């Protein structure tokens, strides 16, 4: 969808390609490549994720400060796309100034916003309890099955990135229940209203 939001011209993508659907990493990143080609300077990514860090329960919003690429795949493998660096820097993929803006908007609007490290895994099976224990040791605060390929390609293309996770469930072994897609969808829709306000405020502050 193309339009105006928060006073900015935006392209909004509904849904995304996931590696677990059988798409190559570069295909997953194709929409981001398209946005960059059309002249976008900033990409705002959202996702659903399981909470690993103690305060991250269903309905929480987490600003992604950094990620762990545990998909064992990278969208930049192969001949570089013209204009891409061969070895893009990834020391600060989530733009510090955009993160500061998001924190400011959240504080102004009374929206709770945690911040942490997102572990990207391939899925589609949810993690085992042992895997969540491993991810915690590795420094992950939340886990999900998307976003990492898009951010890698976006950085290679020179886009500034902001990303926010909706925590839809406690990760495996940390909550009472079995994980279900239905729970993930329910919580995502519930928190989506708050996330929408946050995104609009960020756009207005760009």
Under the rule (CB under 6 A), what is the footprint of ligand HPA?
48-50, 126-127, 143-145, 168-169, 171, 179, 184
Cβ proximity to ligand HPA, 38 vs 177, nearer residue:
177
C-alpha dihedral (103, 105, 107, 111), degrees to nearest 10: -100
Residue 29: Cβ within 10 Å count: 26
Q: Which residue is nearest to ligand HPA (CB)?
A: 50
Task: Decide whether 19 or 50 has the Cβ nearer to ligand HPA.
Answer: 50
Nearest approach in angstroms of CB 202 to ligand HPA is 22
Smallest separation (angstroms) from ligand HPA to the CB of 183: 8
Q: Which of these, 154, 132, 129, 152, lies nearest to 143 by C-alpha position?
A: 132
Q: Which residue is it, tokens 């729970």?
A: 183
User: Residue 176 CB, nearest distance to ligand HPA (Å)?
Assistant: 14
Residue 16: CB minimum distance to ligand HPA, A: 13
Tokens linked to 182: 């239905």
Answer whether 197's CB lies under 8 Å from 96's CB: no
Is the Cβ of residue 44 or residue 52 nearer to ligand HPA in the bound state? 52
Name the minimum Å distance from CB 168 to ligand HPA.
Answer: 5
Q: Which is nearer to ligand HPA, 1 or 54 (CB)?
A: 54
The C-alpha atoms of residue 172 and residue 140 are separated, in whole angstroms, by 14
Distance CA 83, CA 148 (A): 20
Residues 6+ apart with CB under 8 A from 86: 80
Distances (CA, A) of 101 to 27, 98, 165, 185, 204: 30, 5, 16, 28, 10
Minimum CB distance to ligand HPA smaller for 49 or for 152: 49
C-beta of 60 vs 152, nearer to ligand HPA: 60
CB of 47 to ligand HPA, least distance (A): 7
């Amino acid at each position: 969808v193309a339009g105006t939001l928060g006073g900015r011209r935006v392209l909004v993508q509904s849904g995304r390609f996931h590696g677990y659907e059988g798409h190559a990493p570069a295909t997953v990143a194709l929409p981001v490549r398209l946005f960059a080609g059309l002249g976008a300077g900033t990409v705002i990514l959202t996702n659903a994720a399981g909470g690993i860090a103690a305060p991250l329960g269903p309905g929480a919003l987490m600003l992604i400060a950094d990620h762990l690429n545990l998909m064992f795949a990278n969208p930049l493998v192969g001949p570089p796309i013209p204009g891409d660096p061969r070895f893009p820097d990834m020391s600060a993929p989530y733009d510090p100034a955009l993160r500061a803006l998001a924190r400011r908007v959240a504080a102004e609007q009374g929206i709770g916003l945690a911040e942490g490290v997102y572990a990207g895994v391939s899925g589609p099976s949810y993690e085992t309890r042992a895997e969540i224990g491993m991810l915690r040791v590795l420094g992950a605060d939340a886990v999900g099955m998307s976003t990492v390929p898009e951010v890698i390609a976006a950085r290679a293309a020179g886009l500034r990135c902001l990303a926010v996770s909706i925590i839809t469930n406690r990760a495996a072994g940390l909550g009472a229940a079995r994980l279900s897609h239905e729970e993930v969808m329910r919580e995502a829709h519930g928190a989506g209203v708050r996330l929408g306000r946050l995104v609009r405020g960020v756009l207005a502050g760009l």
